[in-house]
Amino acid sequence: MYNIKNFYLLDWLENTLNSNSIKNDYAPNGMQIEGDTNISKILFGVTLNEQLIKLAIKNKANAIITHHGLLNYKENIVVKGIKRNRLKLILKNNINIFSYHLPLDVHISLGNNYQLAKLLDLHPILCKNQLPLTYCNGLLWIGTSKKINNIKDLCILIEKKLNRKPLYIGPKNKIINKIAWCTGAGQKMFSDAIELGADVYITGEISESSVHLARENNVGFISAGHHATERYGVKALSQYIMEKLNIETQFVDIDNPI
């Protein structure tokens, strides 16, 4: 295994994830905190939190890459409370913090949507160029399953693969032909999925209004967990970096019931 420079890793990640093409994300993508120039081990997780930082320190990782990072454009910039605690640990231990939100949702091979489809054996509808047909700036995917054609079996599969029981709202005996999905907090795209003719929509979170949309449109809605549906993009990135850059990586799943 090799060491790499932190800004080399930043350039590599930006090129690999095409992060500079993403506009209007809720948080900065890329390096959020500069740490040690030389990186010998990278810890990966879904969301940056104190437990993940302490695990990085314990495992002598000098970089952390997450899907949900430390900084958020919409939050108060004052450094106090848990943000102060996290920053103190990061700066004291010279840890680089990288985060990729939308770039790690929409990427066609490393992204959360692709990785969830792979896990559940869903087959995205393809364009003429053989790339997945997507909507809502790449966040909404649509496809089929060659093995499952009913809600009951789909929910059983999701529970088995994601290790949590999904919440299902909608017709219980509906035959499934077309499936739409968006990992994480994708409940606002349920209307788009309905317009696209989906028989069922899979996402991480549910809102009160989602229930009425499902019932009144006779379309299934599956809330499979925000964390649970977004483990797999950052996990795939961890494996990919290890293979391509020959650097030690470790994915840590700090579970979250939401």
What are the structure tokens assigned to 45, written together?
């997780």
Amino acid in the structure at residue 86: R
Q: Judging by DSSP bridges, how do beta strands 200-203 and 179-182 pair with one another? A: parallel
What are the structure tokens assigned to 247, written together?
């650097």
Q: Are 29 and 22 in contact (CB under 8 A)?
A: yes
Is residue 50 a known part of a binding site?
no
For 104, left (φ over 0), alpha (ψ -120 to 50), or beta?
alpha
Is residue 208 a known part of a binding site?
no
Is residue 101 a known part of a binding site?
no
Is residue 226 a known part of a binding site?
yes
Q: Judging by DSSP bridges, how do beta strands 179-182 and 140-145 pair with one another? A: antiparallel
Is residue 230 a known part of a binding site?
yes
Tell the burial category of 6 from Cβ atoms under 10 Å away from its Cβ (0-12, 13-18, 19+).
Answer: middle
Annotated binding site for a divalent metal cation: 67-68, 105, 226, 230
Annotated binding site: 67-68, 105, 226, 230
